[in-house]
Amino acid sequence: MKTVLYPGSFDPFTNGHYDLVCRAAQLFDKVIVAVAVNAGKSPMFTLEERRELIKKCCASLPSVEVVVIEGLLVDSLEKYGVQAILRGLRAFSDFEYELQMALMNRNLKSGCETIFLTPTLKNSFVSSSLVKEIARYSGDYTAYVPGPVAEAIRRKQAGGKK
Ligand code: PNS
């Protein structure tokens, strides 16, 4: 049984993230999407809200499980019986950050491997930060996120304006 863990802040989960989950589901017996804390970001959605949203988005993919991890990523690998960490690479600009994380994770836990997949071209410029920025200025972000996420952003914005 080969299990891969796909960590991220997923704030929010985009079509690019979904694209990667689908690719991973073709390659691994089990895909664990792990909503984790990125200490450098201030999120729009709570960890639990993000987990629920991703569960909805991936409901048709039976081999996908969605969890929240709150400590160091490497400390959750054994618990979930994971063989590798999965991260997405969209462009060369992602590479430096991703390489640094992959090497740090392997230093923190020997044998910890990170594999990279690339999304389809039409999702390769999509990012959670851009989606949030478009939403903040009342632009149309709905082409870049799954339906449940678009609805949740709309509700969050409506709530904020009360
Ligand atoms: O989607 P992001 O924000 O690029 O994901 C980054 C994330 C959440 C995977 C990273 O910040 C992380 O692994 N956080 C958990 C805490 C941790 O292990 N930090 C050390 C990473 S080398």
| Residues β-bridged to residue 31 | 4, 64
Q: 133: CA distance to ligand 1 center in Å?
A: 21
Active site residue 17: yes
Q: Which domains does the chain have, with CATH numbers?
A: 3-157 (3.40.50.620)
Report the nearest atom of ligand 1 relative to the CA of 104.
22
What's the pLDDT tens digit per position in 120-147? 999 999 999 999 999 999 999 999 999 9
Quick one: pLDDT band at residue 160, thresholds 50, 70, 90? low
User: 10-39 pLDDT, tens per residue?
Assistant: 999 999 999 999 999 999 999 999 999 999
Distance (Å, whole) CA 92 – CA 70? 29
**29 or 162: which leads in pLDDT:** 29
Q: Give the span between the Cα atoms of 148 and 9, in whole angstroms.
A: 17
pLDDT at 13: 98
What are the tokens at 80? Answer: 């979930």
Cβ neighbours for 153, distance < 8 A, ≥ 6 positions apart: 12, 44, 131, 135, 141, 145
Q: Is residue 90 flagged as an active site residue?
A: yes
CA 86 to the chain's CA centroid: 10
First to last CA, the chain: 49
Does residue 162 register a pLDDT over 50?
no
Q: From the alpha carbon of 72, which atom of ligand 1 is closest?
A: 18
Mean pLDDT rounded to a whole number for the chain: 96
Q: Which residue is catalytic, options 87, 122, 128, 136?
A: 128
- Residue of the CA atom closest to atom 10 of ligand 1: 38
**Model pTM?**
0.96
Q: What pLDDT score does 92 carry?
A: 86
